[in-house]
């Protein structure tokens, strides 16, 4: 390109000399040299910028930490730099998300393996004992233990499948208007015998309101909360369920007079596989996590308050507008 410009300049100079004399030839030559020099400098600079962009992309593709390439200049190349920077920033962000997801998946698999290992080990021991035990009473006891462990494993697996489906977005919540009284009645129905056996009374204060929610999934979320409350209550304790309506949200409150939650455990009660110091021996630490996921998937929230030795209060809120 430089040679072409030089030849073109020389040709113009000859033409200028032939037409207008020496002065015109010299002027054309000076202008040609100036224009050619400027063009060459600009071209070299653009090539240098393009080379820098190429080096930047090579570093990004290699996974290295690439510096920022934004500048305050105008023009097509600057616009290209901006778009490349946006693309690489998005890729880096996605890379960070994938790393976090991979770590979370690894931790989840480790937690699941640990949770399944305990009942599985117990079942293996019981099975070995059954092979050599002749006493019919002992055999029935071992079989009962195995049955309980199978139920625990089944519940854990089903709960984990539900969580994974919600996380993956394969479950669509189907909201409908559900009367508060019917909703609470369905939730408590599953625990009536258990509360009677533990001598736990239930007080209800249900207002004449309805909730816009997925009936089945919301019942499951509330049942997990009630189940958690009952597990931490003793004979003579009281479970209270009430509803309320505000300008911002409709609320279901579930409150117990159980052992309460320790202050250091309170911020973590909705974390998966977290078990506080007051957790039962068979607690897995996943029921409340499922409840939280179900309610937040419906643009709601769960607020927990607790005083150790006094009791715990769960407030399930369904917001009237998405916030």
Domain end residue (candidates: 41, 67, 93): 67
Q: Judge if 162 and 242 occupy the same domain.
A: no
Cβ burial of 57 (10 Å; 0-12, 13-18, 19+) is middle
Q: CB of 40 within 8 A of CB of 47? A: no
Q: Are 314 and 242 in contact (CB under 8 A)?
A: no
Beta strands in 136-277 (DSSP E): 176-179, 201-205, 210-213, 238-245, 249-256
Q: What is the rounded distance in angstroms from the CA atom of residue 16 to the CA atom of residue 29?
A: 9
Structural domain for 17, as ranges: 2-67
Is beta strand 210-213 parallel, antiparallel or unpaired with respect to 176-179? antiparallel
Three-class SS of residue 204? strand
Same domain for 280 and 185: yes
Tokens at 227, concatenated: 């189940």
Query: How many Cα atoms sit within 13 Å of 65 on the Cβ side?
Result: 1
Shared domain for 209 and 310, answered yes or no, is yes
Phi and psi at residue 264, to the nearest 5°: -75, -20
| Residue found by looking up tokens 């409840």 in the block | 291
Same-domain pairing of 244 and 276: yes
- Answer whether residue 76 is part of any domain: no
Task: Specify whether 312 is located in the same domain as 183.
Answer: yes
80 belongs to a structural domain:
no
The pTM of this model reads 0.62
Asked if residue 44 and residue 60 are part of one domain, the reply reads yes
Q: Which long-range contacts (CB under 8 A, 24 or more apart) does 42-51 make?
A: 43/1, 46/77, 49/77, 49/81, 50/77
| One domain for residues 306 and 186 | yes
**Residue 154: CATH number of its domain:** 1.10.287.130
User: How many other CB atoms sit within 10 Å of the CB of residue 225?
Assistant: 24
Residue 277 belongs to a domain: yes
Domain final position from 139, 168, 197: 168
Instruction: Identify the sign of the CA torsion 33, 38, 44, 50.
Output: negative
Q: Are residues 10 and 110 in the same domain?
A: no
Is position 94 within any domain?
no
Number of H helices and E strands in the chain, helices first, is 8, 7
Task: Tell me how far apart the alpha carbons of residues 260 and 28 are, in angstroms, rounded to a whole number.
Answer: 94
CA dist 321 and 236 (Å) reads 40
Q: How far apart are the first and last CA of the chain?
A: 61
Domain count of the fold of the chain:
3
**Is the residue at 49 inside a domain?**
yes
- Could you tell me if residue 83 is inside a domain? no
Residue 34 lies in a domain: yes
User: What's residue 278's pLDDT?
Assistant: 64
Contact 320, 249 (CB under 8 A): yes
Asked if the structure places residue 96 within a domain, the reply is: no
Q: Are residues 158 and 217 in the same domain?
A: no
Indicate if 197 and 274 belong to the same structural domain.
yes
182 and 276 together in one domain: yes
Q: Which residues pair with 201 in a beta bridge?
A: 238
193 in the same domain as 149: no
Q: pLDDT tens track of the chain, all 323 residues?
A: 556 655 555 555 556 555 665 665 566 566 666 666 666 677 777 777 777 777 777 776 776 665 555 555 555 667 777 777 777 777 777 878 778 767 766 766 776 676 677 677 777 877 888 888 778 888 888 788 778 778 778 877 887 778 777 777 777 888 899 999 999 999 998 899 889 989 999 999 999 999 999 999 999 999 999 998 998 899 999 999 999 999 999 999 999 998 888 888 888 888 877 777 666 666 667 888 889 989 998 989 999 999 888 999 999 999 987 65
**CATH at residue 270:** 3.30.565.10
């Amino acid at each position: 390109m430089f040679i072409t410009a030089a030849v073109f300049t020389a040709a113009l100079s000859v033409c200028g000399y032939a037409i207008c004399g020496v002065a015109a030839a010299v002027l054309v030559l000076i202008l040609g040299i100036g224009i050619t020099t400027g063009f060459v400098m600009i071209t070299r600079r653009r090539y240098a910028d393009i080379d820098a962009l190429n080096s930047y992309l090579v570093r990004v593709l290699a996974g290295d930490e690439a510096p920022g390439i934004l500048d305050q200049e105008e023009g097509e190349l600057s616009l290209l730099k901006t778009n490349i920077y946006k693309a690489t920033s998005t890729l880096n962000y996605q890379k960070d998300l994938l790393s976090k997801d991979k770590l979370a998946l690894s931790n989840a698999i480790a937690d699941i393996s640990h949770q399944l290992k305990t009942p599985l080990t117990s079942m293996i021991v019981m099975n070995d004992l059954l092979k050599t035990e002749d006493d019919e009473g002992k055999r029935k006891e071992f079989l009962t233990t195995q049955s309980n462990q199978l139920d625990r494993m089944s519940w854990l697996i089903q709960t984990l499948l539900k969580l994974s489906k919600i996380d993956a977005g394969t479950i669509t919540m189907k909201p409908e208007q559900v009367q508060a009284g019917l909703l609470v009645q369905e939730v408590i129905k599953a625990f009536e015998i258990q509360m009677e056996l533990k001598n736990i009374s239930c007080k209800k204060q249900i207002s004449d309101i309805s909730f816009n929610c997925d009936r089945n999934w919301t019942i499951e979320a509330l049942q997990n909360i009630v189940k958690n409350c009952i597990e931490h209550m003793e004979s003579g304790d009281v479970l209270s369920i009430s509803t309320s309506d505000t300008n911002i949200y409709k609320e279901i409150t579930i409150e117990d007079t159980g052992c309460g939650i320790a202050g250091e455990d309170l911020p973590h009660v909705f974390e998966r596989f977290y078990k506080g110091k007051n957790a039962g021996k068979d607690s897995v630490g996943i029921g409340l996590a499922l409840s939280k996921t179900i309610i937040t998937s419906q643009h709601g929230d769960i607020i927990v308050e607790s005083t150790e030795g006094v009791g715990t209060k769960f407030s399930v809120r369904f917001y009237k507008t998405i916030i």
